[in-house]
Amino acid sequence: MQKKLYAFLCCCFVSVSVFAQSKINITSNIPDAKFFMLRESDNSEVAELGVGSIELKLSKDSRNRIKIVKEGYEPLIKEYPRTIKWEKEQKIALENRLVDISVEPYDAEIYVDGRMIGTKRTNLVIGKGKFLTLEVKKTGFAPITKIYYNAPDREAPPIKDFFEMKDRQVRLEVFPADATVQINGVSKGRGTSDITIPNGECVTVNVVREGYADVTQVFCNKPATDPAPPIRFRAALEDRLVKITTAPADANIEVAGKILGVGKYDLKVPKNDCVEVRVVKDGFIRFTKSYCNQTNMQEPPLTEFVEMVEDEAYNSSISTDMANVRITIPVNKTIAPEDAWRTLSSIITRSFDVLETVDYNTGYLTTSWQVQNFNGMSTIRTRMIVSSGGNSNELTYVVKIISQRADGVISVKEDQLFSDWGRLLKRYGGIVEELQSRLQ
């Protein structure tokens, strides 16, 4: 039995040896693909065998290793040991595409489908019917993304692809986090954002939020003239903004004595500061308010509508150039000094109940303050001072009507709260004219 089995195996071996091909024809699916013979021990090339198709003689004691190469395709290595029976005609298909990828700067990282595969340079293999997403990343630069397809209905991948990172990127950290980011006037979104600055250009970034003063920053990517933009930039909205509107619409809005707007104004309140605003218009009670942007203080409102109240004092007064100025009244020489003084005192006491100082010899007279409140929102005080003037040869009186105004209901003694008012209450409006008429 053992002899019969041995004989059978020998027959099979002889049969295989007889029928194994000594030569085969190998053809590539790409006509200009090159064939190379490889060493047995490694993948180094020994000799070029041909282009497109070759006749390969199978050495008895060799694995007959060959490599098929075509630029833009992944090389294919095949072995044809003579111990195997091969069909006379062999077909080879190069199907996986190969892209030589290089990048600058050289330390930029190369990612494929989200996985880092290297820097500077790499070979990208795209399998048949597949696609790969390539990303090139480096901090401070805008990332570059490209998708490669290996499919008949798609554009064929290039043999080589070079990526030079020129567009810069700034990580814009925004506070408050819900502030809106605008790039060149176009809204990009809310909160922290990556800002791309194209090579050779500048972009204007605005960070806006209702109730805050905008933060504006210009980033330039002009290597020849400007330093590189920062990798990160913090845009913190800290100054508050109050949109003030008034009624009447032509009221003046003042800060620190300067008119900043008429009818409407966007008031900026710097961080850790307070700003006092006055809204002023003739015939209306002055509006005054302080807005503070400080810790533990009430936040400024987003908007402030100031509806002014009509000033009763204004309607009860006249505009005049005789208030708070010294007016010289020469006395007609035909009038005796005693009569002139008597006439002057009589005219004044008809409007002022109390005379505080009276001195005929020196020609000096002062009245007490006459006080009147209006709207419960303003106080007007008025007094009159008379002194002698001129030389000894002619009798002259110098008259001054002091008219002052203060906000609120104020004591007449609070001098620091009063200021000169360019109007006179109607009851005092004709005093100077009457004095001039009676004494001249």
> Where residue 124 falls among pLDDT bands split at 50, 70, 90?
very high
Which residues neighbour 439 within 8 Å (Cβ) at sequence distance 6 or greater? Answer: 329, 330, 331, 332, 335, 340, 343, 344, 397
CA angle 402–406–408, rounded 5-degree value: 145
Distance CA(141)–CA(171), nearest Å, equals 10
Task: Name the phi and psi angles at 286, rounded to 5.
Answer: -65, 135
The closest alpha carbon to 427, from 320, 314, 350, 341, belongs to: 350
Helix (DSSP H) and strand (DSSP E) numbers for the chain: 4, 37
Answer whether residue 10 shows pLDDT above 50: no
Return the pLDDT at 41. Answer: 87
For the stretch 398-426, what's the b/e string if a residue is b when 16 or more beta carbons lie within 10 angstroms of its beta carbon?
A: ebbbbbbbbbeebeeeeeeebeebebbbe
The SS3 call for residue 421 is coil
* pLDDT tens-digit readout, 12-66: 444 444 445 689 999 999 999 999 999 988 899 999 999 999 999 999 889 999 9
Q: Judging by beta carbons within 10 Å of its beta carbon (0-12, 13-18, 19+), is residue 169 exposed, middle or buried?
A: buried
**Six token digits for residue 58:** 């199978």
* Residue range 203-247, pLDDT digits in tens: 999 999 999 999 999 999 999 888 999 999 999 999 999 999 999
CA distance linking residue 306 with residue 274, whole number of Å: 19
- CA angle (116, 117, 120) in 5-degree steps: 105
